[in-house]
Structure formats: structure tokens, C-alpha cells
């Protein structure tokens, strides 16, 4: 079975990798660890270099973990640029993937409307089976709270 594993960040990459390693596959597996660098304005060369560096390190980290615990799996790496859901769907079709193992932030409301949902877009148009993994809701909320600005500070700035 060909498994496409689009990884975006360490938190979800660990979740996806752990799922893959815990599952007992009934047939030989090939895994494509795939990262999509979101479209960045060409003027932002330093940002693009940083994004490529992060993507390269992330996919290599995932591959190392899989190879160390599942040496029989065939593994390949690919880093693409563009819109995430389009690139994932294109890769799944071109590679003839049997399964996509995807992480989801589980955003709702305004965050979902503003940022969209790669997982939903892939689910809606996937050419193969898909498993969407998410963090436990309370853990996800704790992580978001750490990164949210204080609204009291925002009010004091505007006064």
C-alpha cells in the first residue's frame, strides 16, 4: 500500500508518524513523506529559504523515526511549493496513493473561515482513502492560548 503522509509541523508530524508506526499493516507499505511550502511572495527570499530549511529538517526527522522503527517500509521524501490541498491531491493522484494520513488543526468559526481547512479540502476531493488525525481538544486549546495575544494589552494600546 502506498501511504501519503503530508507533514506540516512537528506536533502533527509526530501524531502522524506515531499512527503509522502503531498500525499493523497487512501488506508491504511505501510511504511518501510530503511537505508543501505555502506560496510565498518572490520578494521574500529569506522567508522562502527558511521555509525550505524547516521543511527539509521536518521530513528528514520523520523519515529517521520511521526508518529506525520500521526498516521494511519503502520511504521517499518530496517537498513541493504551492497551495497545500492542491499539491496533496495532485501528489496522491500522480503517485496512486492508497491512503492519505493527514493532520488537522480542528479550527472552527472565524479561524476556519479565515485560514480555511486543508484537511476538509483534501477529504472532499481525495482520490483515495484518508485518515485525518487531530490533537485532543483540550491540548489543542492549551497550545492556542499560549500563542494568542492578550486582548487587554490590545485595548490599552489603542487608548
Is pLDDT of 148 > 80? Answer: no
Burial grade of 3 (CB within 10 A; 0-12, 13-18, 19 or more):
buried
Domain count for the chain, please give it. Answer: 1
Q: In the prediction, which pLDDT does 99 show?
A: 96
- Cα–Cα dist 45/51, whole Å: 10
Percent share of the chain, pLDDT over 90: 50
Which domain does 16 fall in, by range?
2-158
- Cα–Cα dist 25/7, whole Å: 20
- pLDDT tens digits, one per residue of 51-107: 889 999 999 999 999 999 988 889 999 999 999 999 999 999 999 999 999 988 665
Is pLDDT of 141 > 60? Answer: no
CATH number for 26: 3.40.50.620
Amino acid at each position: 500500500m502506498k501511504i501519503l503522509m503530508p507533514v506540516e509541523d512537528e506536533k502533527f508530524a509526530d501524531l502522524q508518524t506515531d499512527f503509522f508506526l502503531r498500525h499493523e499493516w497487512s501488506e508491504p507499505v511505501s510511504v511518501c513523506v510530503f511537505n508543501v511550502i505555502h506560496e510565498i511572495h518572490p520578494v521574500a527570499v529569506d522567508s522562502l529559504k527558511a521555509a525550505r530549511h524547516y521543511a527539509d529538517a521536518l521530513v528528514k526527522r520523520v523519515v529517521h523515526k520511521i526508518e529506525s522503527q520500521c526498516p521494511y517500509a519503502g520511504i521517499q521524501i518530496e517537498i513541493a511549493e504551492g497551495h497545500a490541498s492542491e499539491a496533496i491531491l495532485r501528489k496522491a493522484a500522480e503517485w496512486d496513493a492508497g491512503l492519505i494520513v493527514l493532520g488537522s488543526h480542528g479550527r472552527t468559526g472565524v479561524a476556519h473561515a479565515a485560514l480555511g481547512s486543508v484537511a476538509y479540502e483534501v477529504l472532499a476531493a481525495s482520490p483515495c482513502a484518508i485518515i485525518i488525525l487531530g490533537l485532543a481538544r483540550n491540548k489543542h486549546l492549551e497550545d492556542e492560548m499560549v500563542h494568542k495575544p492578550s486582548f487587554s494589552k490590545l485595548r490599552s494600546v489603542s487608548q
